[in-house]
């Protein structure tokens, strides 16, 4: 057992050593935030969009959950991107928010798809946590997710390989380090 | 030295004093940077995640409902950014260069080979799952309590304890094998 303790103590000692961070990083951070909006400007409070192009009428919630909002996808836009391949189990939703969760329904029209998964900030971009269910036989897929008030980025994974953003929703304004994605804001007015 | 609290700085930022955020950045850059470096394994990715976390923290600062706990709130953002960036890198860079000789040379007692020991630990961390690595670093390196880890990761205490235990077992096996080679 002492052998175990030895390696652990030695490893931790090394891992706690300070690391070198570029001194210019602070300036880069401040320059980037100066270019963007202030934290609480109304411009960040994007609202849910109506179903895209009238191609889909969202009329009933799935699983008995209340329908708070709907997002519909009617066309394929955006570029293909490499998405996170997380093995992490789904994380607890909305751990940072204090408000009560709302049931938000996401709907997508993808004729011919065999599987559709909803991925986003709310499930830590897991490729398996939130599979969408076929809502009818016309390529309509839906999933309902409890979301607390806040801003969430998301995208759809089609057949395990193809990624779609949602043209009916705002694009994320801060996806400069990650793949393109859409944004839904819950609780916005 | 008149050091303002995190809460005071957060309030100044929300009141429009962007420069106050610079003080928060300076205050947390080293600790968050160390975590990112250990989690992601290289300086470039760590700095990218660090900058991203700071910028996202600023932009969503109005969601920091407990300004006095800004550090924990920001750490949660950092953990999430490392998860996302790490997963992206995992897909793009599946080839891990590993020098088998490093393991053979690893010997902690010999200070001349301390660099090899560092490399061995870094290699061993890369071999375990991101979830296990994350839990191990938060517990043993950052010394967070399990309650704090719950707040940062969103996972349950039993799940986190399991991850820490498995991470320790895996790392011990990897490092022990390395020393035996």
A82 domain-assigned? yes
A6 domain-assigned? no
Phi/psi-derived region of residue A187, left when phi > 0, alpha when psi is between -120 and 50, beta in every other case: left
Query: Residue B88: its chain A contacts at CB < 8 A?
Result: 82-84, 178-179
Residues of chain B with CATH 1.10.10.10: 98-181
User: Who wins on pLDDT, B120 or B167?
Assistant: B167
Average pLDDT of the residues in B59-85: 90
pLDDT at A183 (0 to 100):
67
Place B169 in a pLDDT band, splitting at 50, 70 and 90: very high
pLDDT at A105 (0 to 100):
77
pLDDT at A136 (0 to 100):
64
Please judge whether A12 and B140 are an interchain contact, meaning their C-beta atoms are less than 8 angstroms apart: yes
Where in the sequence is the domain holding A182, given as residue range(s)? Answer: 40-186
- The total number of structural domains that make up chain A: 1
User: What are B30's two structure tokens?
Assistant: 């080293």
For residues A113-122, b (16+ Cβ closer than 10 Å) or e, as one string?
A: beebbbbbbb
CA distance A58 to chain B (A): 30
Q: Are A136 and A88 in contact (CB under 8 A)?
A: no
The span from the CA of A183 to the CA of A164, in Å, is: 13
- Regions of chain A short of the pLDDT cut 70: 1-5, 40-101, 136-137, 166-183, 185-189
CATH architecture of B1-95: Orthogonal Bundle (1.10)
A17 domain-assigned? no
Please judge whether A174 and B117 are an interchain contact, meaning their C-beta atoms are less than 8 angstroms apart: no
Residues of chain B with CATH 1.10.1740.10: 1-95
Query: Residue A97: its chain B contacts at CB < 8 A?
Result: 63
For residues B76-99, b (16+ Cβ closer than 10 Å) or e, as one string?
A: bbbbbbbbbbbbbbbeeeeeeeee
Q: Residue A161 belongs to a domain with what CATH number? A: 2.60.40.10
Domain B98-181's class?
A: mainly alpha
Give pTM, 2 decimals: 0.56
pLDDT at B46 (0 to 100):
93
């Amino acid at each position: 057992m002492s052998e175990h303790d030895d390696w652990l103590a030695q490893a931790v000692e090394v891992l706690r050593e300070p690391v070198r961070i570029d001194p210019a990083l602070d300036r880069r951070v401040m320059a980037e935030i100066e270019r963007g909006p202030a934290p609480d400007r109304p411009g960040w409070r994007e609202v849910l969009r109506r179903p895209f192009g009238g191609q889909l009428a969202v009329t009933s919630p799935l699983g008995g959950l209340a329908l708070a909002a709907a997002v519909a996808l009617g066309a394929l836009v955006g570029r293909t991107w490499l998405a996170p391949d997380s093995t992490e189990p789904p994380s607890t939703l909305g751990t940072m928010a204090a408000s009560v969760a709302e049931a938000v329904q996401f709907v997508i029209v993808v004729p011919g798809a065999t599987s559709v998964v909803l991925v986003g900030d709310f499930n830590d971009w897991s490729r398996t946590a939130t599979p969408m269910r076929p809502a009818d036989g016309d390529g309509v897929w839906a999933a309902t997710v409890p979301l607390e008030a806040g801003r969430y980025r998301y995208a759809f994974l089609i057949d395990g390989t193809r990624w779609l953003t949602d043209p009916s929703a705002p694009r994320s304004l801060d996806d400069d380090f990650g793949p393109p994605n859409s944004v839904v804001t819950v609780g916005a007015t | 030295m008149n050091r303002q609290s995190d809460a005071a700085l957060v309030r100044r930022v929300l009141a429009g004093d962007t420069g106050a955020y610079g003080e928060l950045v300076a205050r947390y850059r080293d600790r968050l940077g160390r975590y990112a470096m250990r989690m992601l394994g290289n300086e470039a990715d760590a700095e990218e995640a660090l900058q991203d976390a700071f910028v996202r923290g600023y932009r969503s600062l109005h969601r920091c409902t407990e300004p006095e706990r800004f550090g924990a709130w920001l750490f949660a953002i950092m953990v999430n950014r490392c998860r996302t960036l790490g997963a992206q890198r995992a897909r793009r860079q599946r080839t891990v260069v590993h020098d088998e000789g490093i393991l053979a040379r690893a010997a902690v007692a010999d200070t001349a080979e301390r660099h090899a020991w560092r490399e061995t630990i870094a290699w061993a961390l890369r071999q375990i799952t991101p979830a296990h690595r994350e839990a191990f670093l938060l517990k043993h390196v950052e010394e967070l309590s399990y309650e704090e880890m719950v707040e940062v990761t969103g996972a349950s205490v039993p799940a986190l304890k399991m991850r820490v235990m498995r991470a320790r077992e895996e790392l011990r096996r990897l490092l022990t094998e390395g020393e035996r080679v």
